[in-house]
Amino acid sequence: ARPALAEGACEPAPAIAGLAAADALPRFAAAYESMLARVRAAYPKARVWCVTHCAGHSRGCEGATFTDNLRGVPLAAYNAAIREAARTTGANVADAAAFGLDYQCREDGVHPTVFGMAQLARMVELSIEHEAEIAAEHEAFGVLRGAPGPATAALAAQVVAETGAYVS
């Protein structure tokens, strides 16, 4: 994945060379759906939750240090594939991306710090508690990073107040 190179951003971690293959997104979607189908087959009574991805924010930087794309494919496209695979297989979605927040990550721009894990955990917890509202807003407004619907914006404000999550 490629770190952001925004003006004033901290020096990014080295990027993995090259863009994703043209079929990276369809392969991810197929593999994710296959994984969920295998979980469903092995544990038919389990309540399965899929978590969408949001951007990382390294300490000491003013904005997200990790862009919203993974080697040229927008994270929103991967998140759409996660949502669709969940819908197809009867899983639930803890839509962390809908909050439009960044989590605190290590210098690699991806892996959360202890604080970042608490931020992600709170987003997941609220996503589970308010799944129907978030899904309804997704249908009504779409989910654009940084532009949550009114109910999700209120939940995002709660996360920020409770954890100090970043908003880029």
Q: Quick one: CA dihedral 92, 98, 101, 106, positive or negative?
A: positive
Would the pLDDT of 1 be above 60? no
Using one digit for the tens of pLDDT, what is the confidence trace for 98-123? 888 878 887 776 788 888 888 899 99
Q: What are the tokens at 21?
A: 């293959």
Is residue 90 a contact partner of residue 82, using CB atoms and an 8 Å limit? no
E strand segments, the chain: 49-51, 56-58, 69-70, 73-74, 92-94, 103-105
DSSP count for the chain of H helices, then E strands: 5, 6
Three-class SS state of 4: coil
- What pTM does this model have? 0.78
> In the predicted model, what is the mean pLDDT of residues 147-154?
77
Q: How confident is the model at residue 27 (pLDDT cuts 50, 70, 90)?
A: very high
Instruction: Give residue 3's pLDDT.
Output: 42
Q: What are the tokens at 117?
A: 């894990």
Angle in degrees, 0-180, between the axes of helices 75-89 and 24-42, rounded to the nearest 10: 30
| Dihedral angle computed from the Cα positions of residues 63, 66, 69 and 74, in that order, rounded to the nearest 10 degrees | -40
Q: Between residues 110 and 137, which one has the greater pLDDT?
A: 137
Q: Where does residue 40 rank: exposed (0-12), middle (13-18), buried (19+ CB within 10 A)?
A: middle
User: What mean pLDDT, rounded, does the chain reach?
Assistant: 79
47 contacts: CB under 8 Å, gap ≥ 6 = 92
Residue length, the chain?
168
| Dihedral angle computed from the Cα positions of residues 94, 98, 99 and 105, in that order, rounded to the nearest 10 degrees | 70
